[in-house]
């Protein structure tokens, strides 16, 4: 067995709100749709694919409760079909397009949007994912209760 010091400890931090991000990072993030972006670039001469993954943190189990987790699962189900139709079928951005709910380290829940393409650069993929998120928001608002 692992000792206490060797046991991995997973934790996650709450992402700042837009106003908190402006206080932390300065006014240059005020105009961004997403005030905190983490980019990790992996490069290989043998790899022809590009990919982006947007992870939209929804909260931890304690905050969401059963109802919130259920809503996230439902939104994820609707998001998958919407993202696939828009980004894969209509815009033909990539051969892998997916949107799904997921758990991230520390017990938080999130909605993940993934697009992999051999023909479109990551910046463009991210731009189109952001545009889809805006249209998906309108799609959700327009649904009957």
Chain segment 37-86, per-residue pLDDT in tens? 666 666 677 888 888 888 888 888 888 889 999 999 999 999 999 999 99
For the segment 74-127, what is each residue's pLDDT rounded down to a tens digit?
999 999 999 999 999 999 998 899 999 998 877 789 999 999 999 898 889 999
When pLDDT is cut at 50, 70 and 90, the band that residue 23 belongs to is confident
Residue 75: predicted pLDDT? 95
Pairing of strands 108-117, 50-60: antiparallel
CATH class as words, domain 49-141: alpha beta
- Specify the pLDDT at position 74: 95
> What pLDDT, on the 0 to 100 scale, is given for residue 34?
65
State the angle between helix axes of 122-141 and 61-83 in degrees (0 to 180), rounded to the nearest 10. Answer: 100
- Beta strands in 13-74, from DSSP E residues, in sequence order: 50-60
Return d(Cα 14, Cα 104) in angstroms, integer.
12
């Amino acid at each position: 067995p692992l000792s206490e010091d060797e046991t991995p400890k997973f934790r996650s931090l709450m992402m700042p709100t837009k106003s908190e991000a402006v206080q932390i990072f300065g006014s240059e993030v005020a105009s961004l749709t997403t005030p905190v972006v983490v980019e990790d670039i992996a490069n290989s001469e043998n790899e022809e694919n590009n990919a982006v993954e947007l992870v939209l943190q929804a909260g931890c189990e304690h905050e969401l409760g059963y109802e919130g987790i259920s809503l996230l699962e439902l939104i994820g189900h609707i998001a998958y079909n919407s993202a696939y139709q828009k980004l894969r079928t209509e815009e033909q951005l990539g051969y892998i397009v997916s949107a799904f709910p997921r758990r991230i380290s520390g017990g938080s829940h999130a909605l993940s949007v993934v697009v992999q393409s051999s023909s479109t650069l990551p910046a463009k993929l991210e731009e189109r994912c952001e545009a889809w998120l805006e249209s998906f928001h309108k799609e959700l608002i327009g649904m009957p209760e």
